Amino acid sequence: MRGLLLFGLLLPLLNAAVQGSILPACCQVLIYLMLAQGLNLVVGYAGLLHLGYAAFFAVGAFSMAYLTSPQSPFHLQWSFYLALPVSVAFTLLVGALLAWPTLRLRGDYLAIVTMGFGLMLDPLMRNYDDATKAITGMAAIATPFAGINAMIWYYLLLAGVLVCVGLAYRVRHSSLGRALRALREDSVAAEACGISLARTKLQVLTLGAAVAGLAGALYASYIGTLNLAFPFDFNGSIMVLAMVILGGVGSIRGALVGGLALGVLNLICIPKLIDVVQVHVQPGLARALSDSPALWAKIEPWLDLSKAQFLMFGLTLVIMMLLRPEGIIPEQPVSYE
Amino acid sequence: MSLLEARKVTRRFGGLTAVSAVDFRLEPGIVASVIGPNGAGKTTFFNLLAGVYEPSEGSLLFQGQPLAGLTTHQIVRRGLARTFQNIRLFGPMSVLENLLIGMHTQMKTSVISQWLNTPAGRAEEKAARVKCLETLDFVGLQGEAHKAANSLPYGHQRLVEIARALASDPKLLLLDEPAAGMNPSETHELTELIGRIRDKGITVLLIEHDIKLVMEISQQVMVLDHGHKISEGTPEHVSKDPKVIEAYLGAPEE
């Protein structure tokens, strides 16, 4: 893990050395890493299948935009430093409110309710675009300071990831973490040990929402212009869930590695591959097949790999889950030695 | 004042009356047993005490306070801990962590201060570990603290479950067939352990099929059959009661 952290710290320098342009994509990966840690609390620690996590990410991001953007319907234009804690607190509150009616639900039913919330928020905000600016979007969202660049953002978001990892670590070693594991293993026995199932679930769902709120608020400030698109919809929820499961459910390092693997794959590798095919493979093939235009006409439309982005993503997931179904770094029991 | 009092407690499941108008008083500081043939309603009676079910009729008092409306975890907080007929440990976790979970109700530091890793939180956690290790010594499982609970032999898993219940610092300990599946020497050690638990001032109420164990350790025995209390008293009294002999062996032929 130290190696990973060192690499994370040195990455912008490496990027500058080779005059690369991957920092913006890396910043997005860092956002995903925060989300993966937050969802791992709910899905991994507590064993509660949550299918609407991206909706809380959206709540955090839109709170930030509403509070700070000059185009916000509320015209508040708060500073970043005031809007950040308020956005997190508001998302936490939404998380608690949504958790309340689900406390008595188990397994699949909780998954259905959270999925319902995730699916509902998106069209609701779109349909009320006049009020929500979900499609129109909001620009000039406040940043920590004027003239902030990608490298500073990178380090800020890296710090955010460290905060989330630290939180996950402390929860794992607290009595809440123990209560969550107990609840996941055997809820009847957990109750017989004096653990309140409702209270414990409420705590972890609220906490998970707060982490998503933090990630969302930082994301909104980072990208500057916000409208309701990919990472906020159901696909976004599944993406984060895939990171947690791929990395190893319940494992902090697993969520980091899973988030890194899928984030890098989705935001860096696949776009690069699409580029390479378009720039190099396509013209070469076109020259080679210049004698038989009929064949070329058949092949050409398939060379636009951006249309197959989700296919590549899904295939990678399937292959990795076949090779290592328990995840890349499975959860280890807490050692008290 | 009785530690536990059941007043005309009845529990029905649809048309079946599993426990029927049972009156029961348990004085503190003793070992008492509930016996009866299979299906007599013993486990249902336990589940009523532990708050898994609410009585259909009648009331339960623990230390003079009604248990009605309390959930299982609230009842544990009042000082009533239990074990299960089929062992329910947190299998992949270490024995020590199982006990720490049992101590959940004893942890007073707030979640926030645990996250901030304050000295008070660390001290409490350390004290909790020491106490759990002492409890493990007490049940005779010293040296097993760091093994996964499901890696222990069956008899030891039963002891871990008892230790986990003791970790909540109960006033009354409910043991549901603790000797089930144990060999004679393990049963002997268990009998001796139950005696030491009582000597610590913890009242023990057990369901048990091993009549030898029951007769050896109990000061009070209640016999249930088809949900009714058919006999109650000292082990000697109960074992000579014709109604009990009839319930177990059938009525003598005319």
Q: Does A179 touch chain B (CB under 8 A)?
A: yes
Mean pLDDT over all residues of chain A? 91
Question: What is the DSSP secondary-structure string of B25-94?
Answer: EE-TT-EEEEE-STTSSHHHHHHHHTTSS--SEEEEEETTEE-TT--HHHHHHHTEEE--SS----TTSB
Q: Does A178 touch chain B (CB under 8 A)?
A: yes
Would you say residue B149 has pLDDT above 80?
yes
Q: Does B42 touch chain A (CB under 8 A)?
A: no
Kindly state the tokens that stand for B195: 């005696």
How many Å apart are CA B157 and CA B174, to the nearest integer? 16
B132 backbone dihedrals φ, ψ, rounded to 5°: -65, -40
Residue of A nearest to B163 (CA): A193
Kindly state the tokens that stand for A99: 């958790």
Dump pLDDT digits (tens) for A296-311.
Answer: 888 888 888 777 777 8
**Chain A: closest CA distance from residue B246 (Å):** 35
Task: Considering only residues A298 and A179, tell me which one the structure prediction assigns the higher pLDDT.
Answer: A179
Dump pLDDT digits (tens) for A15-56.
Answer: 888 888 889 999 999 999 999 999 999 999 999 999 999 999
Q: Does B129 touch chain A (CB under 8 A)?
A: yes
Sort out which chain A residues have CB atoms less than 8 A from B100's CB and list them: 175, 178, 336
Dump pLDDT digits (tens) for B169-219.
Answer: 999 999 999 998 899 999 999 999 999 999 999 999 999 988 889 999 999
- Is A90 in a helix, a strand, or coil? helix
Q: Do A175 and B73 touch (CB under 8 A)?
A: no
Count of residues in chain B? 254
Of A170, A182, A189, Cβ closest to residue B117: A170
Helices (H), chain A: 2-17, 23-39, 53-68, 80-102, 108-127, 129-132, 150-172, 175-185, 187-192, 197-223, 234-247, 252-264, 270-276, 282-288, 293-299, 309-323
The answer for B 61-100 residues in CB contact with A (under 8 A) is 71-74, 76-77, 81-82, 84, 88-94, 96-97, 100
Dump pLDDT digits (tens) for A60-100.
Answer: 999 999 999 999 989 899 999 999 999 999 999 999 999 98
Count of residues in chain A? 337
| ipTM for this prediction | 0.91
Tell me the pLDDT band of B253, cut-offs 50, 70 and 90: low
**Chain A: closest CA distance from residue B209 (Å):** 23
The rounded percent of chain A whose pLDDT value lies above 70 is: 100
Which domains does chain A show, CATH number per domain? 2-323 (1.10.3470)
From edge to edge, which strands make up the β-sheet containing B4-13?
B16-26, B4-13, B57-62, B65-66
Q: Do A334 and B114 touch (CB under 8 A)?
A: no
Would you say residue B252 has pLDDT above 80?
no
Would you say residue A324 has pLDDT above 70?
yes
Residue of B nearest to A203 (CA): B111
The rounded percent of chain B whose pLDDT value lies above 70 is: 99
**Residue ranges per structural domain of chain B:** 4-79+170-249, 91-156
Q: Do B90 and A181 touch (CB under 8 A)?
A: yes
Mean pLDDT over all residues of chain B? 93
How many Å apart are CA A28 and CA A262, to the nearest integer? 12
Domain with residues B4-79+170-249, CATH architecture: 3-Layer(aba) Sandwich (3.40)
C-alpha distances in angstroms, A155 versus A5, A144, A161?
A: 12, 13, 10
Kindly state the tokens that stand for B136: 């493990």
Of A171, A185, A335, Cβ closest to residue B91: A185
Residue of B nearest to A204 (CA): B111
